[in-house]
Structure 1
Amino acid sequence: MRRINLPTWLTLFRVALLPVMVLVFYLPFKGHNLTAAVVFALAGVTDWLDGYLARRLNLTSKFGAFLDPVADKLMVAVTLFMLVADHKGDWSGIVMAITSAVIVGREISISALREWMAEIGMRATVRVAFLGKLKTGMQIFALIVLILQHEKDAEALRLYHIGEGLLVIAGILTIWSGLYYLRAAWPALHGDDPVLTPQQDRNA
């Protein structure tokens, strides 16, 4: 059995940090929001670091390639659900819920698109682009601000609204990058002829 390499261990560590972040977020101690934000930021750092080490040290693996995007999506989705659940039902909460639904919905849709494109041997058509990395970075930054300021007292309210604004920008980037991937895959999706998977093509 092939040993798990360092970048993959970092990805696994990122997944393991998620329940820690959620637990700390809800524990009633002074500074819990700061601690939760630090844990989430640490997870975000490992998101960059595992990819950097995999490229720099040539430590890529199929398991790591599968797990890394899963860990990223879990990190964002779990945090969004946590923040929406903690939010009051005002206009700010509605904007937060809609933006979160857009982000999570896009991630599910593009993951399904990548899986389908892989089945027909065209996965490279929808490989990760710079725009996708930019939206992920914006999501992480916005969520760090929102976790840090989620108590929304008089002093933190302005920064919390800044975090909400950053999340809306992240939502716009999310839609933009989703349309980018959809445009790249459109020739295969729009074709009138039935698309054969590699296995079907060999048996044709």
Structure 2
Amino acid sequence: MNIPNTLTMLRVVLVPFLVLIFYLPIEMRYTLCAGIFAAAAVTDWFDGYLARRWNQTTPFGAFFDPVADKIMVATALCLLVDEFRAAWMTIPAVIIIGREIVISALREWMAEIGKRTSVAVNMIGKFKTVGQMMAITLLLLAPAPLESMIGYIGLALLYISAILTLWSMYVYLHAAWPDLTPFSRAES
């Protein structure tokens, strides 16, 4: 274990606290949840930065970092869907969570055939992640019904993130398509 891996694990440890606090009948629950999620988002950036800077990248970190991100984001989106109970929240949440499942399966398949690098993280994916983290943090600050500028900005960022999510999924699937179709595999 090293500091970057500890930060990655911290994100997963924060998930039950996020859920517990979200459902507590206390006035500050939205602020506390937004703070927990923002702290987790910062550790997402910071653990990768430290691992590269200190040359402490590990197979565990490479595997668990994206898992921790997906657990945190999916949990927060589920909480928001439950809170707002509206299609306008559910649709981008389903797009984002569904894309994560598809791309995780795609990366696993590509790794199995030795072509993992053809679906490596790209800049669109990085922008998508930043947008998601900002959107979710702002939406956690905005209790239902949505009535504040913070909430509307968060919602706009969530939709931008959902669009970037679809775009990045297209880019990954397009890159992997030759290995997913029987015609191109037969030619190899």
TM-score (norm 1): 0.87
Pairing partner for 1:38 from 13, 32, 35? 35
Is 2:70 the partner of 1:73?
yes
Offset of residue 95 of structure 1: 1.6
SS in 2 for 1:59: coil
Amino acid in structure 2 at the alignment position of 1:114: R
Amino acid in structure 2 at the alignment position of 1:180: V
Taking structure 1 as reference, are residues 160 and 193 closer, same or farther at Cα in structure 2, changes over 3 Å only? closer
- Partners of 1:194 and 1:176 lie apart in 2 by 25
Pairing partner for 2:23 from 18, 23, 26? 26
Who is 1:47 aligned against? 44
Who is 2:162 aligned against? 171
Amino acid in structure 2 at the alignment position of 1:54: A
Who is 1:57 aligned against? 54
- Partners of 1:120 and 1:143 lie apart in 2 by 35
Contact persistence 1:152–1:160 (CA under 8 A):
no
- Partners of 1:7 and 1:148 lie apart in 2 by 28
- Partners of 1:29 and 1:193 lie apart in 2 by 58
Q: How does 1:106-185 map to 2 (within 5 A)?
A: 106-152=99-145, 156-185=147-176
- Partners of 1:148 and 1:182 lie apart in 2 by 34
Per-residue deviation, residues 125-182 of structure 1 (Å, max 9, x unmatched): 00111111110110010000100012447xx433322211211110000000111111
Per-residue deviation, residues 18-71 of structure 1 (Å, max 9, x unmatched): 111111112112221111101110000000000000100010111111100000
Amino acid in structure 2 at the alignment position of 1:95: W
Who is 1:201 aligned against? none
- Partners of 1:77 and 1:185 lie apart in 2 by 25
SS in 2 for 1:186: helix
Identical-residue share of aligned pairs (%): 51
SS in 1 for 2:183: coil
Structure 1 window deviating more from structure 2 (121-130 vs 17-26): it is 17-26
Higher-Rg structure is 1
How many positions carry a matched residue from both structures?
186
Who is 1:188 aligned against? 179
Contact persistence 2:136–2:154 (CA under 8 A):
yes
Structure 2: 5+ residue stretches without partners: none
Contact persistence 2:141–2:150 (CA under 8 A):
no
Contact persistence 1:135–1:174 (CA under 8 A):
yes
Structure 1: 5+ residue stretches without partners: 196-204
